[in-house]
Chain A
Amino acid sequence: MDNYTNVIELDNVVKDYGDFKLDNVSFAVPKGSVCGFIGQNGAGKTTTIRIMLDVIRADSGKIKLFGEDIKGNAPRLREDIGVVYDEMGFHEFMTGKDINIMMKHIYKNWDEKVFFDYLKRFSLPSKKKCGDFSRGMRMKLQIAVALSHNAKLLVMDEPTAGLDPIVRNEILDIFREFVLEEDHSILISSHITGDLEKIADEVVFIDGGKVFLQGNKDEILEKHGILKCRKDEIGSISKSLIVGVHEGTFGVEVLINDMKAAAKLYPELVIDRTSLEEIMLFYVASFRG
């Protein structure tokens, strides 16, 4: 099981709900990396994650986790996956102690010492009902559970949504610590691109059930740029470089997909570095016509 290069592999995954379709979704998350799964609400992130975990079945396509097909192997493979959702999911009457009792009878590798250490570290009282926890505490509780069974892969669906910046940073630090182990990987879905910019090595952009951009985060940020010009100058820019155009009062902003080529071709124009958020916004706008 250790001889794999990609911890997650999705190949042409299709799921059609009628009013929404995951359309030939393909991407891979290399072992040891942090992959940001970026998209707006309703883009298909949660559906993709659920299909990946075999909670729902794809209509077609292949899914591999740790190099193994999930068909028939999903429950065993989930032993090595820690999952964090945007909502806690534990019964509100349950305390940390209750959750420990439940989980130690579910995960073969459950380590209660690690779990209680995390509760202590996160200042989560083990005897308090989790229904009385704040949103940040609930998220930390989920993370404590996800990290207490020697998981090699963390899958997180909007884990930082609705949290204040301090808690978000604390949580990102925990993730950074987790990936210090070379065989540990993270898939983190979010529409808060700022968090992903801080932590991700790889990024996958999805919109309307289709993956429209994926690759190494730094390479994507290096290649893309915002070119600023007047309206009448747009015509002179090579169309193959243009991802999208945003017209403002004083001029236009153009997202280009090859900053070096654009700088060579148009040395007189200003090209600024861009962010994952701007990339997402421009691509989604152009994608939707």
Chain B
Amino acid sequence: MKGLIIKDLMCLRKMRATFVFVTVSSFVITVMALISARIGNIALAEKEYLAGGTDMPMSPVQLLWYAVSVMVLLPLASLGDSLTLAFEADKNSGFTVVAGALPLSVKQRVTARYITLFLTCGTGTVISLVLSFLLSVFTDIMTFGDFAGLVLSAASLILIFSSLEMILIFFVKMNNADYVRIISLLIMTAVFLLCSSGRIIGALRAMKPFELITEGIIFLENRWFILAAAAVLCLIASYLISTGIAERKRGEI
């Protein structure tokens, strides 16, 4: 099983470059923006806004907070595709046929995929948390706890997304990774819309869409454990369903 995980990580080597690039660039941009909010143009704009000398609808610091929240989520989002990439790489190379002849059970092969997912997502989360700690030094807009909440929420969302992908790959035997991605995303969007339809409609009626975004970010910062619990449940369900289907259907995993 360890061999398959090593192989999966080798397959994801090309993702490493994307992750490093996204992480470093979003970190550098965020640091620059946060410094600017202290002593640069953003600080000046904020002073002007507070003095009422501008017709901006929103405080520049508030806008910066939105931007920083997105930047913190970007590195982890770049890892969101690791699962389908690993499946695609196996399919394109014909490794699925080789895997069937290895001395591993179907369950072990499926489990290896989940461990790969934990490893990539876990590594991304740890790196993002370290960077969050460094970012929290530069600003008062967000505490390390806020940053960490965002990172953990992003990690939970990736795990939920990957759990759905896994079920789709095994259940529908989807050979087209794009369909897997799109349908998983559509399911998550549908669940989000169903859960917050009242708030969305309320915000739209009151013509206060920014309040919805603010509420959303605050939710991600402070209620990350709800998403984490959902991720755990999704992962357990996904693992049980995927191993069950894979064992029954066999073929190429």
Contact = CB atoms under 8 A, between A and B. Distances in A.
A75 B105 contact: yes
B250 interface: yes
A103 B3 contact: yes
B57 interface: no
Given A55-B251, A91-B89, A81 B3 contact: no
Contacts of B251: 55-56
Contact of A50 (B100, B102, B103): B100
Contact of B101 (A83, A90, A101, A105): A83
Contacts of A88: 94
A108 B2 CA distance: 12
A93 B13 CA distance: 10
B32 interface: no
Given A87-B94, A89-B93, A91-B89, A102 B6 contact: yes
Interface of B: 1-4, 6-7, 10-11, 13, 89-90, 93-95, 97-98, 100-105, 108, 250-252
Given A55-B251, A105-B3, A89 B95 contact: yes
Given A55-B250, A94-B10, A105 B94 contact: no
A92 B10 CA distance: 11
B39 to A, nearest CB: 47
Contacts of A273: none
Contacts of B94: 85, 87-89
A170 interface: no
Interface in A95-111: 98, 101-108
Given A75-B105, A79-B103, A104-B3, 15 more contacts: A53-B101, A55-B97, A55-B100, A55-B252, A75-B103, A88-B94, A91-B89, A93-B10, A102-B3, A105-B3, A105-B6, A106-B3, A106-B104, A107-B102, A155-B101
Contacts of B89: 91
A94 B98 CA distance: 14
A230 interface: no
Contacts of B98: 83, 85, 89-90
Given A75-B108, A91-B11, A106 B250 contact: no
A100 to B, nearest CB: 10
Interface of A: 50, 53-57, 74-79, 81, 83, 85, 87-94, 98, 101-108, 155
B97 A85 contact: yes
B229 to A, nearest CB: 33
A108 B104 CA distance: 11
Given A56-B250, A75-B104, A78-B102, A91 B95 contact: yes
Contacts of B108: 75
26 contacts: A55-B252, A56-B250, A57-B250, A75-B108, A77-B103, A79-B103, A83-B101, A85-B97, A85-B98, A89-B93, A89-B94, A89-B97, A89-B98, A90-B93, A90-B95, A91-B95, A93-B11, A94-B10, A102-B3, A102-B6, A102-B10, A105-B3, A106-B2, A106-B103, A107-B102, A108-B103
Contacts of A56: 250-251
Please report whether the interface of chain A is mostly helix, strand, loop or mixed according to DSSP: loop
A37 B134 CA distance: 65
Instruction: Pick the most buried of B3, B104, B108, B252: most chain A CB atoms within 10 A of its CB.
Output: B3
A128 B89 CA distance: 19
Instruction: Pick the most buried of A78, A104, A155: most chain B CB atoms within 10 A of its CB.
Output: A78
Nearest to A87: B94
A153 B100 CA distance: 16
A105 B6 CA distance: 9
Contacts of A87: 94, 97
A92 B93 CA distance: 7
A107 B103 contact: yes
Nearest to B10: A98
Contacts of B95: 89-91
